[in-house]
Amino acid sequence: MNKEMITSKQGVYLLTLFMIGSNLFMGLAPAAKSNAWIAALIGTLMALPIIFIYARLLSLFKGRDIFDILNLVFGNVLGKIVALAYIWYPLHLGAMVIRDLGEFFNTVAMPETPMLLPMLFMGFISIWAVMAGVELLGRCSKIFFPIVVIIMFITTLLVIPYLNFAHLKPVMYDGIGPILNSGFDIFSFPLAETVLFLGVFSALKTETSIYRVYYSGLFIFAAIGVLLTLRNILVLGGDIVSVVNFPLYVEVSRINIGEFIQRIEVSVATTFVITDFIKVSVCLYVTCLGISKLFGLKNYRSIVVQTGLLMVLLAYIMYENIMDMIYFAFEIYAYYALPFQVILPVIILVIAEIRIRAGQLQTGKRY
Amino acid sequence: MKSTSKILSVILILANTLFLAGCWNYREIDTLRFVAGIAIDKSETGDQYLLTVETVDIKNGGESIMNSNTITVAGDTLLDAKKNMDSISGKKLYFAHARVAVLSQAVAKEGAVKVIDWLARNAELREDIEVLVSQEITAKEILETGSKTDQIISFELDKVMKNQKTIANAPEKELWNLINDLGGSGISAVLPLVSLKKVNSRTLPSVTGTAVFKRDKLVGFLNVDDTRDLLFIQNKVDGGSLVQNGEGDNAGSKVSLKILDNRTKLKPVEKDGNVEISIEIKTTVAIDEIEGTENYIDEPGRLRLEKSAEESMKKSIENVIQEVQTKYNSDIFGFGAKVKADMPGTWKEIETLWGDKFKDIKVSVHPELTIKNSAAFSQPLRIGD
């Protein structure tokens, strides 16, 4: 087995870009309106314990990915059945992200281009990246991360004249209920989606602390997410944020400084494509890894192309229109993803701990 | 063998760039006709919209010349009218560079949302387009002046609107701002008014005054002075002038004060179970013009001038508020929104009653004027014998 390695820094960047993914552009918790930034903070708090579970699982079984862990913890047969869940989830998630990109291009950037086309190209490039391996993804994110941060930073400077702090008031006008609800939305989309990194971080160098990588990624994302959500609200106002499909894009399109710096929303589209690419690639990688482990293939690379095309096709047929997509993303997804994100990991960890205590499992060492 | 396959693959990749360049719907600039401004009227029968666009026709030559041209087409909805227009104009209309949208009074009276929705939803139009209401009978005649004056009238109007910050003749409203106002609770929308004025021998559009809305329907107008007071209350004055009548020996002559800076704070206060609004206005001005010889520059004169200017400001603002409360009963000042922001608890109780309550709400105005300088001269002009 060839062992690919990513450094802890690359791991953090990969994790952050993955979380920025498509959701920042669709707006974090639009339902919370002008309190979305509080919801983002609460979502982060909610994610703290679950991320501890993921990191604990990974550090118990260093160098193993989730499918190995399932096999060890549940045994061969049951482990493979549970593994099916972790093959389906990234496949579906990747398709959703590809679809987000397609809808984005179709509604905002290129309305007359068939949606399949940008989706197909995103599929191709992700297939290529996954064929090249996790190491390449790690290095990619090291290059992309500064680009994303710089674009966010510059656009933040440029929207300063448009900030209207009156948009923040009144704080928590509708009470804490809707905010908690939105916090939970943010928890499931994107924070707890990092459950997929159970399949990726087996490639982390063994001496790095997985807790540190996970939590650094979470905090970097939380900082960016809260900042951008605040920005959206301050510029657009809570009411508008809750009705437009891509608030960040609309916000940056307002920038018009001296009739000279204007129409720079393409920069946001760039970051959208970059982070989507990372997210799709991670999803595709985990799916392929799962399938190869399920059937005992020697190498996951032989099935990347098929799985990738399948993902694009699934993305193409999964929703009728953008209204379906928004409805699914904000109303249903949080509950749909709960088993994959919380219930299964908790069960796995509990059983693993019991069996380790009982001395039935040997951990921490690589073969 | 290996190098040939490498070269071949490079050629293949390069060949792909030919097909992948740009977007799917590739359009050359000379196949498009640029729309500079939009005017929306109701047809005479009242069941159709008349969409007028001012287009920019660029003639190339030694020097490129821009000509204004208007097209008016009827349609059941705006998109319908736009489609009908495409079949007339030949080239496809391209809306992304449209700068202004003018609504006729009839359209505004019927409800602005009906037309605003298409303007906002349409992905090609940008949300920073300026929205105006025509005080003339139709909206299209505003744009039609362009062909007579060799100017792209929409672009001129856009520049006038961008200058409003420093002249305070009309409230500037970009589309997204208007949507915020229409949707926000505790605030009603206003739009700038545009009318035609004869300047020398030419007829030009002039932006002065305010169209007052209640919900999304036009209910009335404010004149230029009232508009300035409205902008004072909304903290949107950043320039402009105050004209003060002289008093005492100097009665009959006037003093102009140039507004340098203005800050307005709305403070809702609760008094015996009723909400009252206190408006604090801090204005910095410069003496820019003194008719006559009265000394307004030394301290006693200056204080007198400050005092009388404050007085007249207070009076005129109170008048506007009263006029709006009694005549239109529409919260264009955003008092309700301010109450919601500062006293959310109280707002929850009175939100549903606000429509009735607004006209009885007590408002106190506290202007504070500071004279900063007297422009280039330190003394009034003297008239010798």
pLDDT tens across the length of chain B (385 residues): 678 999 998 898 888 777 665 566 667 777 888 899 999 999 888 888 999 999 888 776 667 677 888 888 999 999 899 888 888 877 888 888 899 999 999 999 998 888 888 888 887 888 889 999 999 988 988 888 877 777 888 888 888 888 887 888 889 888 888 888 888 788 889 999 999 988 888 888 888 899 999 888 999 999 988 998 999 998 888 888 888 877 666 667 788 888 888 899 989 988 887 888 999 999 998 888 887 777 777 888 888 888 888 998 999 999 999 999 998 888 898 888 888 888 888 888 888 888 888 888 889 999 998 888 877 777 777 777 7
Residue-wise pLDDT for A116-138, tens only, equals 888 999 999 999 999 999 999 99
User: Domain range holding A133?
Assistant: 14-346
| CA–CA dist B104, B132 (Å, integer) | 9
ipTM exceeds 0.85, yes or no: no
Residues in chain A with CB shorter than 8 Å from the CB of B24 are 110, 112-114, 117
SS3 state at B242: strand
Q: Which of A256, A257, A265, A322 to substitute to test the interface with B, most B CBs within 10 Å?
A: A256
Query: Which of B9, B16, B23, B235 is most worth mutating to test chain A (most A CB atoms within 10 A of its CB)?
Result: B23
Topology, domain B225-385: GMP Synthetase; Chain A, domain 3 (3.30.300)
* Phi, psi (rounded to 5 degrees) for A3: -105, 120
Q: Does A162 touch chain B (CB under 8 A)?
A: no
In-domain check, residue A367: no
Name chain A contacts of B340, Cβ cutoff 8 Å: 169-170, 173
Query: With an 8 Å Cβ cutoff, is A170 touching chain B?
Result: yes
Percent of chain B with pLDDT over 70: 95
Of A113, A170, A237, the CB nearest to B23: A113
* Domain assignment of residue A153, yes or no: yes
Helix (H, G, I), strand (E, B) or coil at B169: coil
Instruction: Indicate the number of domains in chain A.
Output: 1
**What are the chain A neighbours of B185 within 8 Å (beta carbons)?**
none
pLDDT tens per residue, chain A (367 residues)? Answer: 457 788 889 999 999 999 998 777 777 777 788 888 999 999 999 999 999 999 999 888 888 889 999 998 998 899 999 999 999 999 999 999 999 899 888 887 777 778 888 899 999 999 999 999 999 999 999 999 999 999 999 999 999 988 888 888 888 877 888 889 889 988 988 899 999 999 998 888 877 788 999 999 999 999 999 999 999 999 888 888 888 888 888 888 888 787 788 778 888 888 999 999 999 999 999 999 999 999 999 889 999 999 999 999 999 999 888 888 888 888 888 899 999 999 999 999 999 999 888 887 765 544 3
Percent of chain A with pLDDT over 70: 98
Residue in chain A closest to B129 (alpha carbons) equals: A254
pLDDT of residue B250: 63
Q: Which residues are B217's β-sheet partners?
A: B214
Query: Under an 8 A CB cutoff, do B127 and A111 touch?
Result: no
Cross-strand bridge partners of residue B268: B277
End-to-end CA distance of chain A: 11
Q: How far separated are the first and last CA of chain B, in Å rounded?
A: 107
Burial (0-12, 13-18, 19+ Cβ within 10 Å), B205 = buried
Residue with tokens 């994610």: A47
Query: CA A73, A76, A77, A81 torsion: positive or negative?
Result: positive
CATH of the domain at A160: 1.20.1740.10
A359 assigned to some structural domain: no
Q: Is residue A117 one of the residues assigned to a domain?
A: yes
Picking from B123, B126, B342, the nearest residue to A108 by CB comes out as B123
Q: Do A253 and B127 touch (CB under 8 A)?
A: yes
Record: contact B179-A111, CB cut-off 8 A: no
Task: List B198's β-bridge partners, or say none.
Answer: B203
